[in-house]
Amino acid sequence: MSIFTKAVTIALKEFPQVNSMIDGEDLVTPGYMDIGIAVSAPKGLVVPVVRNAEMMGIAGIELKIKELAARARDNKISIDEMKGGTFTITNGGVFGSLMSTPILNPPQSAILGMHKIQERPVAVNGQVVIAPMMYVAMSYDHRVIDGRESVNFLVRVKEMVEDPVRMLTEGQDPVKILLDL
């Protein structure tokens, strides 16, 4: 979850509309990314929030998710720890889901659904090979987010997950960072 959370924060910087929400007559785009992470608790799914996830590295995000998930499973999560998210990630894959439609967590305008990783035949350089594949789906409020923007956001998340070095450098060229250019 931490890798996808980090990828989402990078993509949200590029596509801030996906991090927006409607508040009455106003469109609000927060300057922070409080990412809700759906967690299976004894009484059902709950969504604790990783506050200011854009400021954290993958290890910090992983530790925070682990802490919040443990508190949720022990029924010790507070209402305040589940309020105020700007975007949510849910992982039906842990239950074996191959594909589903995630449901928005109002007032948020988007949610990313991750699904089970499963080996599938895919074409690589003109050859059919077996490779691990995972479907992701995003539900979004079309009043806030345009279809083109949502697809570009998903593509950016995919690029970051498939290129961890680029993700660790926040989408910047690692050579330029190393050479301080």
Active site residues: 142, 146
Write the CA distances from 38 to 31, 90, 159, 163, integer angstroms: 22, 5, 23, 25
Query: Can you spell out the DSSP letters for 57-105?
Result: -HHHHHHHHHHHHHHHHTT---SGGGS--SEEEEEGGGGT-SS--PPP-
Tokens of 133: 């594949």
Tokens of 8: 């989402």
8 Å CB contact between 17 and 30: no
Phi and psi torsions of 134, nearest 5°: -140, 130
User: 84: how many CB neighbours lie within 10 A of its CB?
Assistant: 14
Tokens of 28: 């609000």
Query: Can you spell out the DSSP letters for 33-66?
Result: --EEE-EEETTEEE--EETTGGGS-HHHHHHHHH
